[in-house]
Amino acid sequence: MKKINKLLSTFFGYGYLTEIPGTITSAVTTIFIYVAYEILEYKDLKFSIIFFILLFFYSFYAVKDSETEFQNKDPKQIVIDEVLGQSMPLILLLYLSQTNQINISIEIYYILSFIFFRFFDILKPFPVSYFDKYHKNYFGIIMDDIMAGLYTMVLIYLISLIF
């Protein structure tokens, strides 16, 4: 089970690929979801939300189980948190497109979601910084990216209202 948890925590090894595994994993997540939603036209919002919730809760267990395999408290190889945080605004995009609240090219929203998420994940405004600083464990690893995802969702929603 530990091997499966480590595989999930590193997003099937993406956490080992480069010096910037969070950025690469966020980009891969964005591309994967874009292909699923926009090219393959798999637009099942309920499934996306349920899958996200299940992955969210299981990730706590997986990260807790595998974090001891690494040297520091927030190992850069663990990137499932980026998958979760980056997925949040992309699921919102699915909802916005289904409710006809998107008036500019959907690709622009995907690019902005990626840029905003990385911005918040790297700069860590409060409460992102709170989870990063005061929870040096599996909970903090995941929750700082969830907060960055929430900030990104707010900006994407505001953009959809403006345009």
10-residue averages of pLDDT along the chain (163 residues):
92 91 97 97 97 98 88 84 98 97 95 98 95 92 97 97 91
Q: What is the pLDDT of residue 70?
A: 79
Dist. CA 141–CA 21, nearest whole Å: 14
Q: What is the pLDDT of residue 140?
A: 94
Dist. CA 29–CA 41, nearest whole Å: 16
Q: What is the pLDDT of residue 119?
A: 98
- Residues in CB range of 105: below 8 A, 6 or more apart: none
Predicted TM-score (pTM) of the model is 0.94
* Token code pair at residue 163: 């345009």
Which helix (H) or strand (E) segment is 51 a member of? Answer: helix 45-66
Q: What is the pLDDT of residue 69?
A: 82
Q: What is the pLDDT of residue 46?
A: 98
